[in-house]
Amino acid sequence: MTAAVTTDTELDEAPATGDGGRGAARRFGVLALAAAVVVGLLLGYAGGLLTPALTRPGDNSAEAGFARDMTTHHAQAVAMGLLAFQQGQDPEVRQIGVDIATGQQGEIGIMQTWLRSWHLDPTGDQPPMAWMPDGAGLVKNGLMPGMATPEEMAKLRAAKGREFDVLFLTMMRQHHLGGVHMIQGILDQGHDEDVLAVAQTMKNTQQTDLTNIQAALKRLGG
């Protein structure tokens, strides 16, 4: 298994509309964003290669569990961010989506490169969240903290206009809150200095995102 660039197949299936060319421009924008996500992933891989391999975390280490689980967690955020870019009505919502999609795809690249440099598989034999002391109790219906259900993702895809904007912000707020909890877990338990440094940056970024999301929700009356 390798870390694939996260895309949402429905993004490429939007019908053409008689909107004076705006639909074509939007599709071009989606392609540009997809290219940016790919670049972010490659930069993430390059950043991950800089991690020293003097002492490698083991297969059941907190670092390995975090890298695997946060890759999955991030992948859903990237999918949501791409949806926000395509379907968002509010410019700030679209920008939040772009920032999250490109930023977290780059972090996926870093985490997958860690696993390769540690000579570990992208997936392990431990259940999700097993690396955290309270992890088992945080998994609900197979989903890690903050992750949306398939039904919630389907509802987001179907939403339009302001309804979409508010729903996206609400779901991403919950997603980030869960992600921050997981990041704090590796900050509390991890020993690899490079992993801890990247995790702290992740936490800072997501906390800034949460501030912006909350302000946008308040402005939109969500």
Q: What is the pLDDT along the chain (222 residues), one digit of tens a residue?
A: 444 445 444 444 444 445 555 555 555 566 666 666 655 656 555 555 554 545 789 999 999 999 999 999 999 999 999 999 999 999 999 999 999 999 999 999 999 999 999 999 999 999 999 999 989 999 999 999 999 999 999 999 999 999 999 999 999 999 999 999 999 999 999 999 999 999 999 999 999 999 999 999 999 997
Tokens of 100: 């999250």
CA angle 136, 64, 186 (to 5 degrees): 65
Q: Tell me, yes or no, whether 178 lies in a domain.
A: yes
- Please state the pTM of the whole predicted model: 0.77
What backbone phi and psi angles, to 5 degrees, belong to 87?
-105, -10
Does residue 181 fall inside a structural domain? yes
21-34: string of b/e by CB count within 10 Å (b at 16+)?
Answer: eeeeebeeebeebb
Largest CA distance in the chain: 59
128 lies in a domain?
A: yes
Q: Is residue 16, in this structure, part of any structural domain at all?
A: no
Per the domain annotation, does 77 fall within a domain?
yes
Nearest to 40 by CA among 84, 103, 100: 103
Identify whether 4 is part of a domain: no
State how many domains the chain has: 1
Question: Phi and psi of 140, rounded to 5°?
Answer: -120, 120
Residue type at 66 in one-letter notation? F
- Please say whether the dihedral angle defined by the alpha carbons of residues 221, 150, 65 and 122, taken in this order, is positive or negative: negative
From the DSSP assignment, how many helices (H) and strands (E) are in the chain? 7, 0
* Residue 6 counted as domain residue: no
Domain coverage including residue 57: 22-220
Query: What CATH number is given to the structural domain containing 91?
Result: 1.20.1260.10
